[in-house]
Amino acid sequence: MRKLLITLLFVLMLSSLLAQTGLYEISYQDDYQPLHDRLIRKGFIRTQLTQNKAIYINHNIPHLLALTLAIIPESKKVGLWSIIYLTGRDPDLVLSIVDELVAIHQEEPTYNEPIDEYYWQFNENRSLILSFDSESKILNLIYYDTEHEELIF
């Protein structure tokens, strides 16, 4: 009985890793159409759709420039996605987004000094990369998966 309980606990932990959920409740391998429907209900507007990319905006989310989903053409699932914010000169906005990410992912990011990026490593293939361009004042988040790097924007 104890062995079964430990096995079930391990399976639950593993499944939570595999279904890593990020901002706006998007997860790796989400089916595109149900995700699209959820985003529309949350006030997102799709501005572009191709075979492997969908771009959204949402006027109700301050500073959000775009949410881009990379869609795996064969399965119609989300392989990776990016979220871009125009933060202006507001360092508190950047800190609040980082705080929200820490709350969602329940860990602090790691700083990669040579390329001036922060990242969360979810497993061997999946990560969240956060970069900030101080000249353009753009904060870029990329939920990345090396298994689908051909989809990168």
Q: Which tokens sit at 74?
A: 């064969």
Per-residue pLDDT at 8 exceeds 70:
no
Query: 28, 78 in Cβ contact below 8 A?
Result: yes
Give the dihedral sign, CA 129/19/53/124: positive
Q: What pLDDT was estimated at residue 19?
A: 53
What global pTM score does this model have?
0.84
Judging by beta carbons within 10 Å of its beta carbon (0-12, 13-18, 19+), is residue 87 exposed, middle or buried? buried
pLDDT of residue 20: 83
Q: How confident is residue 153, by pLDDT bands cut at 50, 70 and 90?
A: confident
What's the CA gap between 65 and 146, in Å, rounded?
A: 25
Residue range 108-124, pLDDT digits in tens:
999 999 998 999 999 99
pLDDT-derived band at 54 (thresholds 50, 70, 90) equals: very high
